[in-house]
Amino acid sequence: MKTLYTVSEVSTMINNGETLLLSGDERALTNLPKGKWIAGTTPYFMSEEKGGIFTHDEIQVVKLPSMITDFTMKTYSVNELKNIPKDYLPNGFSYIIIPAFSDALINFAKDCSSYEGLFDRPLIGWVSGVDLAEVEKSKAKVIDGMTGEITDSKAVVMHLNLPADKYAKINKINLFKQGNGDSITFNSPGFEISECKVNGIDTNFYDYISSHIDTKLPLVADYMGAMINVSIQDIDTVSKKIILFAPVFPGIEYKIAKPVADYEKEFAAELSKANISPLFSCNCILNYHYAHLEGKTTGHIVGPMTFGEIAYMLLNQTMVYVTLEDK
Amino acid sequence: MIPEKNDSRWKEIVTTATVFPLHGLATKMLLMRVRTMIKLDPSPQKVDEAIKITYDFFSKNEETLKNDLAILFRKN
| Interface with A, mutate which of B20, B22, B25, B68 (most A CBs under 10 A) | B25
Please provide the average confidence, as pLDDT, over all residues in chain B.
94
* DSSP states along A108-163: HHHHGGGSTTGGGS-EEEEEE---GGGTTT----EEETTTTEEESSSEEEEEEE--
Residue A261 reports pLDDT greater than 60: yes
- The end-to-end CA distance of chain A, in Å, is 27
| Interface with B, mutate which of A111, A119, A166, A167 (most B CBs under 10 A) | A119
Residues in A touching B60 (Cβ below 8 Å)? 117, 120
Residues in B touching A252 (Cβ below 8 Å)? 32, 36
Nearest-CA distance from B67 to chain A in Å? Answer: 12
Q: What distances in angstroms separate CA A310 from CA A7, A255, B70, one per listed residue?
A: 27, 21, 27
Per-residue pLDDT of A141-194, as tens digits, reads 999 999 999 999 999 999 999 999 999 999 999 999 999 999 999 999 999 999
Per domain, the residue ranges of chain A are 4-172+264-326, 184-256
> Cα(A326)–Cα(A43) distance, rounded to whole angstroms?
34
What pLDDT score does B76 carry? 46
Question: Could you tell me the pLDDT band of residue A13, with boundaries at 50, 70 and 90?
Answer: very high
Per-residue pLDDT of A65-100, as tens digits, reads 999 989 999 999 999 999 999 999 999 999 999 999
Instruction: Return the higher-pLDDT residue of A28 and A135.
Output: A28
Are B60 and A226 a contacting pair at CB < 8 A?
no
Question: Any residues with CB less than 8 A from the CB of A73 and at least 6 apart, and which?
Answer: A38, A144, A145, A146, A156, A157, A158, A159
CA-nearest of A8, A132, A126, A131 to A59 is A8
- Judge whether A62 and A280 are in contact, CB under 8 Å: yes
Are B39 and A223 a contacting pair at CB < 8 A?
no
> Cα(A88)–Cα(A167) distance, rounded to whole angstroms?
13
Distance of CA A77 to the CA centre of its chain: 19
CA-nearest of A212, A213, A217, A214 to A175 is A217
Are B26 and A119 a contacting pair at CB < 8 A?
yes
For the segment B42-61, the average pLDDT, to the nearest whole number, is 97
Residues in A touching B33 (Cβ below 8 Å)? 113-114
- Which positions 47-76 of B are in contact with A (Cβ < 8 Å)? 56-57, 60-61, 63-64
Are B25 and A250 a contacting pair at CB < 8 A?
no
Please provide the average confidence, as pLDDT, over all residues in chain A.
95
Per-residue pLDDT of B10-43, as tens digits, reads 999 999 999 999 999 999 999 999 999 999 999 9
What pLDDT score does A191 carry? 95
What pLDDT score does B36 carry? 96
CA-nearest of A65, A69, A12, A60 to A40 is A60
- Residue B67 backbone dihedrals phi, psi, to 5 degrees: -65, -45
Regarding beta strands A190-193 and A195-198, do their DSSP bridges make them parallel or antiparallel, or are they unpaired?
unpaired
Element (H, E) at A250: none
Supply the pTM of this predicted model.
0.96
Are B36 and A251 a contacting pair at CB < 8 A?
yes
Region at A308 (left for phi over 0; alpha for psi -120 to 50; beta for the rest) = left
* DSSP states along A221-242: EEETTEEEEE-EEEEETTTTEE
Are B26 and A249 a contacting pair at CB < 8 A?
no
> Cα(B5)–Cα(A102) distance, rounded to whole angstroms?
39
Interface TM-score (ipTM) > 0.90: yes
Q: Residues of chain A with pLDDT > 90: what percent?
A: 87
Residue B75 reports pLDDT greater than 60: no
* DSSP states along B2-57: PPPTT-HHHHHHHH---------HHHHHHHHHHHHHHHH---HHHHHHHHHHHHHH
Cβ atoms within 10 Å of B35's Cβ, excluding its own = 21
Distance of CA A51 to the CA centre of its chain: 19
Are A119 and B19 a contacting pair at CB < 8 A?
no
Residue A268 reports pLDDT greater than 70: yes
Residue A20 reports pLDDT greater than 50: yes
What pLDDT score does A32 carry? 98
Q: What is the chain B residue with the closest CA to A117?
A: B57
